[in-house]
Structure 1
Amino acid sequence: MSQVEPISSIGTYDLASPIKRLAGYVVDMAVVFFVLFLKSVMLHFSFRFSSELGLTVFQGVDYFLTLLAFAYFLFCDALPNGQSLGKRLFKMSVVGFPYGPPCTVLQSALRNVPKALFSILDGVFVFFGFRRRLGDMLARTVVVNL
């Protein structure tokens, strides 16, 4: 079993650029908004069904799609190899800092909550130092090129 070496200098990482990270974020938000769009389409169709069973089914689908959008937003970075769809398309990965294993479910949630709460302010930190957002600092992660 190999020993994981701590990485302490910025030169050790091939950090993803702010533009590349923004492009990945746009793709991930498109996924979330697409799921929410499906939810609104389902809501439109639910008005056409007046039966109790039909309304119950559409309400269940509505709750499921809401949960799916929320879960993707929070946990997308914990997908295999620390890659959400946006990161996979732009060949980036979220890894632990300073040791480098792929992002865990807890780290993904910790790094994405500040994005939801502080939005643009959180993203400004990408332009400095290790290019880490507030969420990256909280979750002890960094976004690297593959």
Structure 2
Amino acid sequence: METGNTQSSYQKPSNLAGLGRRWGGQIIDSLITFFLFFAVAKAAELVGLSGDLVGLLALGAGGGYYLFSDAMPNGQSVGKKILGMSVIDERSYLNCNLYQSFIRNITTPFLNFFDWIFIFFGSRKRLGDMLASTIVIRNK
């Protein structure tokens, strides 16, 4: 009886985005998140909404962008689009979907430093990428 190796080993794509580019995209997207939070809060205050509703709308706008931004067209948040990157499924190479975007980004606010430590290993995937089965690639 012949036994073959049924496990395929992970082969790192040649166009994975570098650490500096990924960090830059994270900074841009964090700034956009804060801008949305404060802009929506200020607009809601100007309209005269109650403080609780202002906070809820601001948190929803900022948090919504942050959690779901990688599911924007072509798997590109604004920061990734500016820096020429995309988030894709590591198996199918399809663009990141809403579920994957949520899973890969929910870890960052709570495990930011710990999450990013994983990026230094061979696959260049942070914890969020591992949980969502995604990779970040260069487009340019």
Q: Is 1:88–2:81 an aligned residue pair?
A: yes
TM-fit CA distance, 1:55: 3.1
Q: Which residue of 2 aligns with 1:24?
A: 25
Q: Give ranges in structure 1 of 5+ residues lacking alignment.
A: 1-5, 47-53
| Percent identical residues | 33
TM-fit CA distance, 1:40: 5.0
1-side partners of 2:102 and 2:114: how far apart?
A: 18
Q: TM-score, normalised by structure 1?
A: 0.80
Q: Which moved more, 1:31-40 or 1:129-138?
A: 31-40
**Equivalent residues in 2 for 1:8-19 (5 A)?**
8-10=10-12, 12-19=13-20
2-side partners of 1:132 and 1:36: how far apart?
A: 28
2-side partners of 1:59 and 1:117: how far apart?
A: 24
Cα displacement string for residues 72-96 of structure 1 (whole angstroms, at most 9, x for unaligned residues)? 0100000001000000000000000
What amino acid is aligned across from residue 140 of structure 1 in structure 2? S
TM-fit CA distance, 1:58: 7.4
Given candidates 94, 118, 130, the residue that maps to 1:125 is 118
Q: Give ranges in structure 2 of 5+ residues lacking alignment.
A: 1-7
2:41–2:58: 8 Å Cα contact kept in structure 1?
no
> Higher relative contact order at CA 8 Å, sep ≥6: structure 1 or structure 2?
1
What amino acid is aligned across from residue 24 of structure 2 in structure 1? A
1-side partners of 2:116 and 2:60: how far apart?
A: 25
Q: Is 1:55–2:48 an aligned residue pair?
A: yes
2-side partners of 1:71 and 1:40: how far apart?
A: 14
What amino acid is aligned across from residue 139 of structure 1 in structure 2? A
Q: Which residue of 2 aligns with 1:141?
A: 134
Stretches of 4+ aligned residues off by more than 4 angstroms: 57-62
Q: For the aligned residues, what is the CA RMSD?
A: 2.3
What amino acid is aligned across from residue 29 of structure 2 in structure 1? D
